[in-house]
Chain A
């Protein structure tokens, strides 16, 4: 079999999350989840809050919880620039649950100086982290 792997780089503004050769990667696009395999044509898309799955070989894929970003496929490799990213094994579930409960409380109270989009985004992020952590 030929070499069917390609280069993948996942970065946040704070650090490099992953760099290496993979056989496939799944990502949460704004218009639905998608998978990239070797030889994909150049492609640019936006990522939503969700889960990125990195497949290095036939082993079980590893998951990253992300809050969204940009995803670029070039002939030379794939780059994901995401604003936050956490390996599923690193997620602190109780912290995520606290964040979720806090966001839900704020939304339920609905006080006049509540920044609604911010609270909703925080809720979505917390729920996603809990989901990704529990799936693995």
Chain B
């Protein structure tokens, strides 16, 4: 059995750990709030962009709708680009490992069908994991979540978009943690390219615009903007999910530390009791010996 002093030392160190985890929980909670605000701030832009795109498609005539835009073109899938989005840091439960596991499974899945896979890693965790294991990494982005900028999403899109148009890759997927709520995050696989066809907006009251440049050019530009927007949403979602996961993990850790401290206090009291009993019996027996 541990000595009284050892138990006391353990109690102190666990109390310190508890303080650290609790502070991390508070920080994660604050960052989560900011991340959620960012998600909300994007919504009007995204909705407006969709409306405009819908208007435009509803005004385009049939031949133009069937237009084979390079980003809509479906090809036989031989080369796949997977964008794997994790965080830069650990201590957030299964947030990073879930992405890594799903990505690995997905790569296997494609390799079984005979396609090769190249990766774009976002976040230090996936980058380090896949780099160490010798996977083919086209590009990686590290430390972008501390100060998230829309430009990062634009850069990522530009990277895979030109590979897609060059036909170096035939399909682009993103794997990330979707932020459902503060307590629920799920790993999602979403297809970015080829783009899914978009339905026209059913707005009959809408009058036609005049266009500059032409409809087709505008359509292409809007598709591109929409892609940037999708990538941006992924980054925002993943960021919020990371903070939420960290908050939950740190809350658990703090809870566990509390339980451990309670248990150790019991042990400590028992040890102290034993020590006192021993001391008393020593004194009593000493006194008895003197009297004798």
- Is the pairing of A and B real? yes
- A contact set with B: CB distance below 8 Å: 11-16, 29-31, 41-46, 69-70, 72-73, 79, 81, 83-84, 115, 117-118
Note all chain B residues with C-beta closer than 8 A to A14.
38, 41-42, 150
Note all chain A residues with C-beta closer than 8 A to B211.
43-45
Contact A118–B209 (Cβ < 8 Å):
no
Note all chain A residues with C-beta closer than 8 A to B209.
42-44, 72-73
Contact A43–B221 (Cβ < 8 Å):
no
| Those of B217-236 within 8 Å (CB) of chain A | 217-218, 221-222, 225, 228-229, 232
Complex Cα gap A83–B155 (Å): 12
Contact B225–A11 (Cβ < 8 Å):
no
Residue of A nearest to B232 (CB): A13
Contact B158–A70 (Cβ < 8 Å):
no
Contact A81–B158 (Cβ < 8 Å):
no
> Is the CB of B213 closer than 8 A to any CB of chain A?
yes
Which among B153, B162, B218 is the interface contact of A44 at CB below 8 angstroms? B218
Contact A79–B213 (Cβ < 8 Å):
no
Which among B44, B207, B232 is the interface contact of A42 at CB below 8 angstroms? B207
Kindly list the 5 A-B residue pairs having the minimum CB-CB distance in the complex, ordered from nearest: A44-B209, A45-B212, A42-B209, A11-B45, A46-B221
Complex Cα gap A70–B162 (Å): 21
Given A45-B212, A81-B48: A12 and B150 within 8 A (CB)? yes
Q: B interface, by DSSP: helix, strand, loop or mixed? A: helix
> Is the CB of B288 closer than 8 A to any CB of chain A?
no
Contact B212–A29 (Cβ < 8 Å):
yes
Contact A30–B150 (Cβ < 8 Å):
no
Note all chain A residues with C-beta closer than 8 A to B210.
41-44
| Those of B181-230 within 8 Å (CB) of chain A | 207-213, 217-218, 221-222, 225, 228-229
- Chain B nearest CB, measured from A48 CB (Å): 11
Residue of B nearest to A34 (CB): B212
> Is the CB of B159 closer than 8 A to any CB of chain A?
yes
Question: Counting chain B CB atoms within 10 Å of each CB, which of A31, A44, A81, A118 scores highest?
Answer: A44
Note all chain A residues with C-beta closer than 8 A to B38.
14
Contact B48–A79 (Cβ < 8 Å):
yes
Note all chain B residues with C-beta closer than 8 A to A13.
42, 45-46, 150, 153, 228-229, 232
> Is the CB of B169 closer than 8 A to any CB of chain A?
no
Which among A15, A79, A115 is the interface contact of B159 at CB below 8 angstroms? A115
- Apart from the given pairs A45-B212, A81-B225, 16 other A-B contacts in the complex at a CB distance below 8 Å: A13-B45, A13-B229, A14-B38, A14-B41, A16-B41, A31-B212, A43-B209, A44-B210, A44-B211, A45-B211, A46-B217, A46-B221, A70-B49, A70-B52, A83-B228, A84-B151
- B contact set with A: CB distance below 8 Å: 38, 41-42, 44-46, 48-49, 52, 55-56, 150-151, 153-155, 158-159, 162, 207-213, 217-218, 221-222, 225, 228-229, 232
Note all chain B residues with C-beta closer than 8 A to A16.
41, 44
- Chain B nearest CB, measured from A124 CB (Å): 13
Note all chain A residues with C-beta closer than 8 A to B46.
13
Complex Cα gap A111–B204 (Å): 53
Given A42-B210, A46-B217: A83 and B154 within 8 A (CB)? yes
Note all chain A residues with C-beta closer than 8 A to B52.
44, 70, 72, 81
Complex Cα gap A125–B150 (Å): 14
Complex Cα gap A68–B150 (Å): 13
Note all chain B residues with C-beta closer than 8 A to A118.
155, 158
Which among A69, A79, A115 is the interface contact of B225 at CB below 8 angstroms? A69
Note all chain B residues with C-beta closer than 8 A to A41.
210
Given A81-B48, A83-B228: A15 and B218 within 8 A (CB)? no
Note all chain B residues with C-beta closer than 8 A to A72.
52, 209
